[in-house]
Amino acid sequence: MRARLIRLLLAGLACVTLAACAELQLEPDPPAPAPQVAIRTTPPPAPPVCPAPAPASREARESALSASRAASVSGSWFDLRAQGLSSWNDLRTPLQRSLAFLESRPAGTEAVRRGCFRPTWGQLAESARELLELLPRLDAEPQLLAERFLWLAVQPGPVMTAYYTPEIPASLTRRKGYEYPLYGPPPELAQADELGMLPAWPGAAPEGPARGASDSATGTLAGRGLEIAWARDPLDVFFMQVEGSGILRLPDGRHKTAQYAASNGRRFRSLGDILAERGLLAPEQRSRKAVRRFFRDNPHMARELMAENRRFVFFRLDDGPPVGALGKPLTPFVSVATDPNLLPLGSVLILEAEAPDPSGRGTRRIRGPVLPQDVGSAIKGARLDFYMGEGGAVEEAADRVKNRVTAYMLLSKSALVRGSR
């Protein structure tokens, strides 16, 4: 029976496994270097060192699979409390959101195609479904993660940054002290199929010929009734554009959420980079805190320099929490933004990383599950953007995150044996 199971598993993994612990070359998105995915037969804390890719014998593969079944994960390795989770059961709601998305996709269609690595949406859904069923047991039996799932290591380890949801003072109407607008999407955005048809930052100079677009579409958004709220500080508007959403704290104490609605599709340039290129900030001092300090001392330069970033985000207002690309609320220290061409939305990852504690007291050692539930224009290839929550207290911590981390995608062994449904 065991021999038959091994043969079935080998057949199901014929495309995925080139060798025990071998690396699978992924087709890159130029000009980024090609990331790789390696199959690890033993999960952390001591993942094996992979040899150079080479065809493995049947005996070697069967031995590796047997070792994988026998592998165990120590419960002490995981640190769910660092993610605000008291139990694996706390993952239920965010995981259900991912599963709902996966079940809405065509089961037999490839979720990602990277060389020979081509899991289907059905296989990802079955993996999430199996994990959901195991959650009540994982506090006592964490070894089930090794017994039931393959751990696919993203190599080289992805670079992790972080993002958050800013909270800013704003008004739904223009009034004294609230002079900087947030815009809803203009109607021509839905029909735009050329860069010249997309509006840039108000006041930005056109990028080359406008290709017949009207001045109101390419030069400015003002005066068209597209304003949905007004902020007190232009930097607050800019950084809300960067983060993709925000909480508006209104003068009467109420709160509204500015959700991402659309963008103009143009290339993003950070204010830190713009200031450094002009020699106004040292390259090593491009933090958001330093940028705020610069514009506090030089407010007359804000409009000119912000206009050098031509990417513009449009918002819509609602009363709900911030949502990601799944259209569902994000979970701090669990939700991540990824490049869906490498790590599909809805998939399940195990992350080993360090992140600053938002309280300012040291760092958190992250060793636990994270869920790709968002995307970002700058998140391409082997990148993760870690969602850290809401409010100004998180801003400085999120701004300090940039380091290479270890990440594994979990795929159900039984899903791979049965194939997509």
Encode pLDDT of 155-171 as tens digits.
889 999 999 999 999 99
Tell me which of 81-95, 282-296, 341-355, 361-375 is least confident.
282-296
Integer Cα distance of 305 and 181 in angstroms? 17
The predicted pLDDT at position 195 comes to 43
Integer Cα distance of 278 and 274 in angstroms? 6
Q: What percent of the chain has pLDDT over 70?
A: 74
Angle at 159 between CA 158 and CA 160, to 5 degrees: 110
Largest CA distance in the chain: 77
Q: Which residues pair with 408 in a beta bridge?
A: 153, 350
Q: Mean pLDDT in the chain?
A: 79
> What is the total residue count of the chain?
421
Per residue in 59-118, pLDDT (tens digit) is: 333 333 333 433 445 567 899 999 999 999 999 999 999 999 999 999 999 999 887 788
Classified as helix, coil or strand, 93 is: helix
The predicted pLDDT at position 204 comes to 43
Integer Cα distance of 105 and 121 in angstroms? 6
Per residue in 216-270, pLDDT (tens digit) is: 333 467 788 899 999 999 999 999 998 999 999 999 999 999 999 988 888 888 8
Average pLDDT over residues 185-192: 72
Angle at 349 between CA 96 and CA 88, to 5 degrees: 55
Per residue in 300-312, pLDDT (tens digit) is: 898 888 888 888 8
**DSSP type of residue 314:** E
Element (H, E) at 385: strand 383-390
On whether the CB atoms of residues 171 and 250 are closer than 8 A, the answer is yes
Element (H, E) at 133: helix 121-138
Token representation of residue 301:
């330069």
Token pair 């993994």 in the structure block, residue: 13
Per residue in 29-57, pLDDT (tens digit) is: 333 343 444 434 444 444 433 332 333 33
Q: What percent of the chain has pLDDT over 90?
A: 52
**Residue 384: which of 164, 153, 157 has the closest Cα?**
157
Q: In the predicted model, is pLDDT for residue 22 greater than 60?
A: no
On whether the CB atoms of residues 129 and 421 are closer than 8 A, the answer is no
Classified as helix, coil or strand, 321 is: coil
